[in-house]
Each structure stands twice: as C-alpha cells, then as structure tokens.
Structure 1
Amino acid sequence: MAAVAAMKALAVAASPVSARQPRRYVAGGASRRLQSPFHGVSVQCPGRPRRATPRRGRQVAVVAAAVRPAIQFIQGTDEQTIPDVRLTKSRDGTNGVAIFTFEQPSVFDSSAELGDITGFYMIDDEGVLQSVDVSAKFVNGKPARIEAKYVMRTPRDWDRFMRFMERYSQANGLQFVKN
C-alpha cells in the first residue's frame, strides 16, 4: 500500500505538469492530493520562490482554554471534597510520595449512578497525572474516607506534581504547611 502511494507520488512529481510548479515534498509519505490517508508536513525546497497557496473553505480559529485544576476518581466527575495532602521526599530528591486523604468524599454520593472508582486523576493545563493506588476506609460498614497515593520516581515527576499542586491550591484556596 505504501509502495503504491510512493510510486504515485513519483509519477506525479516526474510529470510535465508538475515540472512547471515549485517542487513540494511531503515528509514521510504521499501527498494529500493523491487521496492518501497520510497527512504529512509540507517541506519547501530551498532556493525556490514560494507562492502563497489559496485556502478554500474552512477557516480555523485557535482558542486557548484554561482548564481548572481538578481531582477525579471517576473520569469526568470532579471531586468536590478538598483533600489533606502529605508529601514525603527522599534525601537525594530523586523520588517521593504524595498521600491524599479525602474525608467523606463526594464520589461516594455519585458512584451509585456513575459507576466505580477507576483511579486517581489530577487534571490541569498540562495534562493528567494518574495513579491506581486508591483505597477506601470503612467505618461501621459505610465508606468514610479515601486514601490515594501518587508516587514520583524522578525529579521531573516531582516538579510536574508540584506545578499541579500549585495550580490546584490556588484554585481551591489551600496553603502549604511544613511540618
């Protein structure tokens, strides 16, 4: 399939019609004009004059939306309870653990209609940090608390986690207290 697309690209590139136009190469595969499902990056040859290609049809608007930092146990459902967070870090600073404790979390109220807890998700502008180390504590047969652990194995993981916590604490009015 790829060989056929490449042969079509070579046939078009060698045609007398294409010889009059500036040469354009598509990185990695055949051109979109050949009905290939691959949409590569166009590369202009140096030394050739560039002509503007008119775009027809659609216009694209770029919208930058800020994501409010959130914690979720069920994807798509934000946890409303603000956690108590304990941090530990190794002496050499290479790894650490964050333990989140949620007393009477709202996920217990909504899990009946939304489903089971699937993990621990920390969502912000940069993406999602996740863990599956989640445990529920029961008192007299009723769910009372959720504890979630997030392990950071590299200084980069630690820095990313701290950026999330800074955003989350600003959005929820939390403060850092060193013990």
Structure 2
Amino acid sequence: MTNPTPSIEFFSGVSEELSNVRLRRNKNTGVRGVLMIFEKLKALERFNSFRKESTGDLRLIDAEGEISVAPSGVRFIFGGDEGDELQRVECDFEIERDDHWQRFMRFMNRYAEANGMEYSDKK
C-alpha cells in the first residue's frame, strides 16, 4: 500500500497548491501562527466552490490522516491593471498546543518533500 500524496483542501476533493508558508510565534503568548499563501485556487478556477462541499475549514491530508484547521482569516489579494486579477490568497491560523504543532510540522515536511519546497529560517 502506498502513502497518499500530502494535500491541502478548502473544498473536499479539490487539492490546492501552496505557494509559500510563514511560521511565526507570538513573543508574549507563545502561540504559534501559520500564514499559508496560495497564488491561485483551483476551487475558484473550476467553480468547484458551487459543487463541492465546504466545511469552512482547511483540510491538510497526509499518510497520518487529516488535520482540520479553522482559519482565523482568509484574504483575497487582487492586483493587475484593472485591479481584478487574483494575485494570491492568504490563510491565517494559530496552533496553541505543542502536540498539534508537531503534527502540523510533520505534515509540512511531507508536503514540502512531495512538492519540491524547502524550509528557510529567516531571522
């Protein structure tokens, strides 16, 4: 049996392509934050948002199973000559528990390896 390719979904069955991810930690509270950036959303391009079920959560799926995250914010950034071209989508969420952070990082490592991404620590 082969392990499934890690995927990220806003809508069930529609895998999105992550362009960038930023990891942060609040100095006062210690709460970790994640900012996922998508340059395009397949769900929007194919109008699947009207045909597929959305739970309002971001689903991260890999060999260990599924992580369901409730974003604290999703921003659509537009640009171009007319200001109507989707430039990127930014999805924010926080992870408070250490065991959840460790599970998220295992997912991100699998996702990065499967999609030719690498970690860069910018201090």
Match of 1:172 among 110, 115, 123: 115
Q: What is the deviation of 1:90?
A: 4.1
Alignment identity in percent?
26
Structure 1, 136-145 or 100-109: larger mean CA deviation: 136-145
RMSD of equivalent CA atoms: 2.4
Letter in 2 for 1:120: L
**Runs of 4+ residues deviating >6 angstroms:** none
- What is the DSSP-based 3-state SS (H/G/I as helix, E as strand, rest coil) of the residue aligned with 1:166? helix
- What is the rounded CA distance, in whole Å, between the counterparts of 1:96 and 1:107 in structure 2? 28
Match of 2:42 among 82, 94, 106: 106
Instruction: Work out the number of aligned pairs and report it.
Output: 114
Judge conservation of contact 1:135–1:148 (CA < 8 Å) in 2: yes
**Could you list the runs of 5+ residues in structure 1 that have no partner in the other structure?**
1-63
Letter in 1 for 2:106: R
Q: Deviations over 1:112-159 (max 9, x none)?
A: 244276432111112222233233223323433211123111111110
Letter in 2 for 1:167: R
Q: Does 1:76 align with 2:13?
A: yes
Q: What is the deviation of 1:93?
A: 9.0
Match of 1:95 among 27, 31, 38: 31
**Could you list the runs of 5+ residues in structure 2 that have no partner in the other structure?**
none
More strand by share: 2
Larger RCO of the pair (alpha carbons < 8 Å, separation 6+): 2
More helix by share: 1
Q: Does 1:146 align with 2:122?
A: no
- What is the DSSP-based 3-state SS (H/G/I as helix, E as strand, rest coil) of the residue aligned with 2:9? strand
Q: What is the deviation of 1:66?
A: 1.2
Letter in 2 for 1:130: S
Judge conservation of contact 2:77–2:86 (CA < 8 Å) in 1: yes
Q: Deviations over 1:63-107 (max 9, x none)?
A: x4412101111111111x332110012459953011011113333
- What is the DSSP-based 3-state SS (H/G/I as helix, E as strand, rest coil) of the residue aligned with 1:177? coil
- What is the DSSP-based 3-state SS (H/G/I as helix, E as strand, rest coil) of the residue aligned with 1:68? coil
Structure 2 match to 1:128:
66
What's the TM-score, normalizing by structure 2?
Answer: 0.77
